[in-house]
Chain A
């Protein structure tokens, strides 16, 4: 990716939670270890990982919205500058925007027009153009979230991220439970954001989605990036990825043979690394 400074640079990032066990005994649970990734302007990078692998926590760490018992290590940089808590608070909603997992993140007491307008410093007629782009008619402008369909609510969330003018958009499972036409529309919007020069970090468990929309795919499991691969090459053949876990993902797709070993904990081969040799996953 040349010498340009990436929009987002994550290096050896770790995250652990402190919890109390019985009495005053403290337990530390590490959920992310050795996470490394960068996102450049105009690029969509997908973080693909199993449910419960801790990938949403990465988004929360970037935005500075982790719970107070979380401790982090390693480095998170935005345009070359280390992201401190105060910088995160200054940037979020302005330079860094989140398309959250759930439509319940919409303010229930705010109309669609106001919601889309909210991150704008100068509203002007930008709201109208965004609403047009996302096929939200004039009547939608004065509606409250409970009056919107699930698909419309999702378009409002994406529209809000767009008007914010944020350079980095983080989309956390942007298409859960949506039908194919809505999925295509949502992915189209993300592509549009990238075409406008924004960087997009998409977090998903669905590798098919990543194939459709991403430039690069970070395969994530057991709290670390297993490997970062070119999306098109990965989709085309498992020979284009190195790690046995990435290859196993490819082979498990219904369109690629639907192979897996029953009862096997694939997380266990994560530590084995790329040199562990080929795993027979038929």
Chain B
């Protein structure tokens, strides 16, 4: 299984120049690809395109040679840098998590998500606690690829290490491919099997 972006062109409305111009990239099952580059080069935009979160681009995004299915739990999951923007602020976190289906209690413990977190609203938890829940939501057996966009940038280094170890083990167990967008070269060195640079 392969997730591929072929000859992607994209610009935001009102902009004269391409942000992404003829970008091609593929990620195979089980790989951890580091996407590294200076800010403003369109790394996050490419991540969103791969995850089907934005349209209006030219080129193809294919999962196993076919368009990524829509209207179901997406096999390509995106985790953002800012978890507070990725959850419904008016829902208790248990409801947010339940939206993705039933969860694995072993995974909950491994991620350090305490059961009482699920009875709280997003503004009652810290960024690290929220990000653990967002990671938990994206780690499901149906997930084939994970786009991890600076998921640990705002976290302390212990939380960063804890979360990544769980993600990497889970990906290994289920053969999930990962695109890790990061500017931290040490982190890329510790987690990636391959690196792609966007200049």
Query: Could you list which residues of chain A lie within 8 angstroms of chain B, going by C-beta atoms?
Result: 48-53, 176-181, 205, 207-208, 248-249, 252-255, 258-266
Contact = CB atoms under 8 A, between A and B. Distances in A.
Chain B, interface SS category: helix
Given A52-B127, A179-B38, A262 B110 contact: yes
Interface string B141-177: 0000000000001111111111011100000000000
A49 B156 CA distance: 7
B112 interface: yes
Contact of A254 (B40, B183, B184): B184
A51 B155 contact: yes
A253 B183 contact: no
A148 to B, nearest CB: 14
Contacts of B164: 258
Interface residues of B, number: 33
Contact of B109 (A254, A258, A259, A263): A263
Please list the 4 inter-chain residue pairs (A to B) with the smallest Cβ-Cβ separation, ordered nearest first.
A52-B126, A254-B190, A260-B161, A50-B156
A222 to B, nearest CB: 11
A195 B166 CA distance: 43
25 contacts: A48-B156, A49-B156, A50-B128, A50-B156, A51-B126, A51-B128, A51-B156, A52-B126, A53-B126, A178-B39, A179-B183, A180-B38, A207-B157, A252-B157, A253-B157, A253-B186, A254-B160, A254-B184, A254-B190, A258-B161, A260-B161, A261-B162, A262-B165, A263-B110, A263-B162
B154 A254 contact: no
A249 B165 CA distance: 15
Interface in B94-119: 109-112
Contacts of B186: 208, 253-255
Contact of B158 (A176, A208, A248): A248
A226 to B, nearest CB: 12
A262 B158 CA distance: 10
Contacts of A52: 125-129
B187 interface: yes
A252 B186 CA distance: 12
B31 to A, nearest CB: 18
Nearest to A49: B156
A253 B156 CA distance: 10
Contact of A266 (B154, B158, B184, B187): B158
A193 B157 CA distance: 27
A50 B160 CA distance: 10
B189 A254 contact: yes
A50 B126 contact: yes
Nearest to B113: A263
B152 to A, nearest CB: 10
Contacts of A179: 38-40, 183
A254 B157 CA distance: 8
B112 A264 contact: yes
Contacts of A176: 154
Contacts of B38: 179-181
Contacts of B111: 262-263
